[in-house]
Amino acid sequence: MCGIVGYVGRGSSRAFVMSGLEHLEYRGYDSAGFACIESASGKLLFAKAVGSLHSLVRKLDGSSIDGSVGVGHTRWATHGAATELNAHPHFSADKTISVVHNGIIENYGVLKQRLIQQGYSFSSETDTEVIAHLFDEVMQRMSGLEQVVQAVVEQLQGAFACVVLLERYPDYLVAIRRRSPLCIGLSSGQQFVASDAAAFAEHTRDVLFMPDSSYALVERAGVRLFSFAGLPLDYVPMRVDAQWLRSTKEGFEHFMLKEIYEQKRVLQETVAFCSTLSQDAWKQTGFSAEVVHDLRELFFVACGTSAHAAQIAAFFFEQIDQIRVSVELASEFRHRALFGFDHSVFVFLSQSGETADTLESLRAVHEAGLRTFSLVNVPQSTMARESDGHLLTQAKREVSVASTKSFTSQVALLYWLAFRIAYEKGLVPQDALAECQQDLLVLAEVFEEVMERYDSFIAHDWAPRYAAYEKFIFLGRQISYPLAREAALKLKEIAYCFVDCYQAGELKHGPIALVEPRVPVFLFSVLDEGVYRKLIGSAQEVKAREGRLVIFAFEGQDELIALADDVFIIPHVKPLLGPLAMTGIMQLCTYHIARVLGHSIDKPRNLAKSVTVE
């Protein structure tokens, strides 16, 4: 969750670290800190501040704190409140060792008690401080940097990435990774360390993605990599697309608004990408055509927005491929017993490819000898590297913490994949693939048309009225229910509103007691006639109790539209793509409510873009 940036070279570490942290602030913005080895004195200097990175930049203005070796950190709190004491870096008692850290040290309680018994005192509530004191304790009795690091990592349990500065070894950064992302940018005469390659994309395209359970000794001249067992490791840098890693607002007020309006392009690029895969799809996915022929069951494993995308996609594979589909929340699934999964494939969805719960579930399935496949948006992500195969969604870099275009790209790619599997199984003719791609291109036009039709109305009329409400009920049925859940999540994430979401048929089984004029009800329609008739009944139940109805309906659904206090009318698309046709306008509604309320839309409180802790 937290952002880590480190630099060792000839230049100013502070300038680079501050610039790198700006690219990673989406990973955490509770507090920020910087530490360096001053070149002249060899002393460790630091500064920390509560709040966004700008608070730290203001604190450093006019300061001489700088050096050619330095680290920085933006924090998303796990252990301890967002205070300056808990902000990173953390230090040994004599302030000669500095640590920045992302993740959780699971055995920190045991380690802390042992260190206290040895006379160490702690000034923060974090688990990170344990690492600094462990380095100090080991260095009291051992010499040699490799031996010191080896002795420390042998004691740490959990999922973590950390970078360590030591006055005794002023020319080095020590980078440590276990089940939490950390990478090294390689360059002549200078090296970079970060939790995301976006931090140093402007300086190098050659990246070493550290393997699991490894540590690196990073100096100006190069990098030495070791396993936790102390064995030297060879490595081959990966060349990354720097353009993919960069992103600007391009004149939009917020990244989220820009990313909402990029979704027409995302859908078009998804179709173009699928066209390149049509004849060679299974090579990319990591399993054979024979596996596809025998496929009887799919398990989708994901969290948050990705789970909602999977829930919509489940209808694709059940109706088009006639196979059973289960959608599992990764945080729960990883604790289940795994047996009896012949003729099954496990599909893992993650925008970042680093989501800790999903990644741990993938590893559990992989260790059980079962087939794994991932759908990710980051080509160099851990999930892409550890799956048997993967497909890349076409969202490109998404900066806003609240996901928009990644959701759309996941659903669109899975729609195509359902048809590709059906063709492989002989359930549809080859023409169906071309028709599927044409359906997505039509959807792209509808997507943008609806947003352009309603954007001004939402911003200047609708959102100011609905921003006055504090509680909402969202309803969907069948394939629109996962969309209702995603809409509710967006309103919670960026507008901080209390939203309860229900399957419309369940309204009368208890939740209808909540319906009153002060709690607007949002209802998302479908293009299935039978389910549509049932939704009319739910809408009538709300109106009979003086509820206020906001309805997302399709053209021609006049009986439902007549019940609405406010309505958004969507052109017809293929029935299975109905939720995607409503997605853009739904996202605009939640965006403009948050904007009226004056909230931090791109960086909502308490959240982070990449959830790398369990």
Contact call for residues 425 and 321 (beta carbons, < 8 A): yes
Task: Identify the bridge partners of residue 183 per DSSP, sorted by sequence position.
Answer: 194, 209
pLDDT-based confidence at 611, cuts 50/70/90? low
Question: What's the rounded Cα separation, in Å, for the pair 214 and 146?
Answer: 12
Domain that holds residue 358: 249-428
Q: Which of 406, 423, 431, 409 is nearest to 271 (CA)?
A: 409
pTM: 0.79
Residues with active-site annotation: 2, 609
Question: What's the rounded Cα separation, in Å, for the pair 564 and 551?
Answer: 6
486 in the same domain as 469: yes
The answer to the question of residue 610 being in a domain is no
How many structural domains does the chain have? 3
pLDDT digit string (tens) for 403-445? Answer: 999 999 999 999 999 999 999 999 999 999 999 999 999 999 9
The answer to the question of residue 119 being in a domain is yes
Task: Identify the bridge partners of residue 45 per DSSP, sorted by sequence position.
Answer: 36
| Site of tokens 């909602």 | 308
**Residue 294: per-residue pLDDT:** 87
The answer to the question of residue 442 being in a domain is no
**Reduced to 3 states, what is the DSSP secondary structure of residue 101?**
strand
CA-based angle 515:503:319, to the nearest 5? 160
407 in the same domain as 498: no
Question: What's the rounded Cα separation, in Å, for the pair 182 and 539?
Answer: 50
Question: What's the rounded Cα separation, in Å, for the pair 87 and 386?
Answer: 32
Q: What's the whole-number mean pLDDT along residues 197-220?
A: 90
The answer to the question of residue 541 being in a domain is yes
201 in the same domain as 179: yes
The residue out of 245, 273, 305 marking a domain boundary is: 245
Identify residue 407 by its one-letter amino acid code: F
Question: What is the overall mean pLDDT for the chain?
Answer: 91
Torsional class of 142: left (φ above 0), alpha (ψ -120 to 50), beta (otherwise): beta
The answer to the question of residue 469 being in a domain is yes
Residue 285: CATH number of its domain: 3.40.50.10490
114 in the same domain as 80: yes
Identify residue 326 by its one-letter amino acid code: S
Per-residue pLDDT at 610 exceeds 80: no
366 in the same domain as 291: yes
Q: Which of 530, 507, 527, 529 is nearest to 519 (CA)?
A: 507
Contact call for residues 591 and 583 (beta carbons, < 8 A): no
Q: Which of 231, 201, 228 is nearest to 214 (CA)?
A: 228
393 in the same domain as 455: no
pLDDT-based confidence at 245, cuts 50/70/90? low
The residue out of 428, 458, 490 marking a domain boundary is: 428
**Residue 39: per-residue pLDDT:** 87
Residue 149: CATH number of its domain: 3.60.20.10
**Residue 514: per-residue pLDDT:** 94
275 in the same domain as 183: no
473 in the same domain as 414: no
Per-residue pLDDT at 574 exceeds 60: yes
**Residue 452: per-residue pLDDT:** 92
% the chain with pLDDT above 70? 95
**Residue 87: per-residue pLDDT:** 82
% the chain with pLDDT above 90? 68
235 in the same domain as 328: no
Q: Which of 89, 92, 86 is nearest to 137 (CA)?
A: 92
The answer to the question of residue 593 being in a domain is yes
182 in the same domain as 92: yes
Number of H helices, E strands in the chain: 21, 25
The answer to the question of residue 443 being in a domain is no
The answer to the question of residue 563 being in a domain is yes
**Residue 538: per-residue pLDDT:** 96
Neighbouring CB atoms inside 10 A of 453's CB total 14
89 in the same domain as 222: yes
185 in the same domain as 220: yes
